[in-house]
């Protein structure tokens, strides 16, 4: 949801991540985060949802996003790793999933960005507005009627 942050610096940085990864190496996303994003979007009026979803639907089709569920070992690590204590459970699970797969979490989360001891990489910053290919960029611009506060990231 960072691409729809009310904070312009966060929004541009997150958009930069997605424009950079639109082609090439697949990006992993937990099924829970897909649902968490939808839950947030469904709190907005119907028209805002209708302006938002064409972009996101196309992005998920055009980009190699591999949506994966948590495994039992992810849950165990999330609950047992001392380094993850104090984080909300959804972030513990996300970081544990990354740790088990020897990858990093690209994030706009203020809590995770502050943790240099975890496999997280803050997104951004970027100097200029990144751009998607023209068709997707038009959908993105329309989707910006939906903006979220940093607390919702």
> What are the residue ranges spanned by the domains of the chain?
2-141
68 pLDDT more than 80: yes
Residue % of the chain over a pLDDT of 90: 83
Mean pLDDT of 61-66: 94
2-141 carries CATH number 1.25.40: no
Mean pLDDT of 38-43: 95
Structure tokens at 120: 């997280």
With b for 16 or more beta-carbon neighbours within 10 A and e for fewer, the 133-153 pattern comes to eeebbebbeebeebebeeeeb
* 88-114: pLDDT as tens digits: 999 999 999 999 999 999 998 888 988
pLDDT at 91: 94
pTM, 2 dp: 0.89
Please state, as a whole number, how many other Cβ atoms lie within 10 Å of the Cβ of residue 18. Answer: 20
Mean pLDDT of 26-44: 93
151 pLDDT more than 80: no
* Residue at token pair 């009627």: 145
């Amino acid at each position: 949801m960072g691409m729809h942050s009310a904070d312009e610096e966060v929004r541009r940085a997150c958009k930069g991540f997605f424009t950079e990864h639109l082609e090439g190496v697949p990006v992993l996303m937990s099924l829970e985060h897909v649902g968490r994003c939808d839950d947030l979007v469904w709190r907005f009026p119907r028209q805002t949802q209708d302006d938002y979803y064409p972009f996101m639907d196309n992005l998920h089709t055009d980009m190699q996003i591999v949506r994966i569920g948590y495994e039992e070992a992810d849950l165990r690590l999330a609950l047992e790793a001392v380094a993850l204590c104090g984080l909300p459970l959804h972030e513990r699970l996300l970081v544990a999933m990354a740790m088990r797969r020897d990858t990093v979490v690209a994030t706009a989360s203020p809590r995770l960005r502050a943790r240099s001891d975890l496999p997280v990489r803050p997104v951004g910053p970027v100097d200029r507005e990144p751009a998607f290919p023209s068709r997707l960029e038009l959908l993105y611009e329309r989707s910006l009627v939906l903006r979220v506060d940093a607390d919702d990231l």
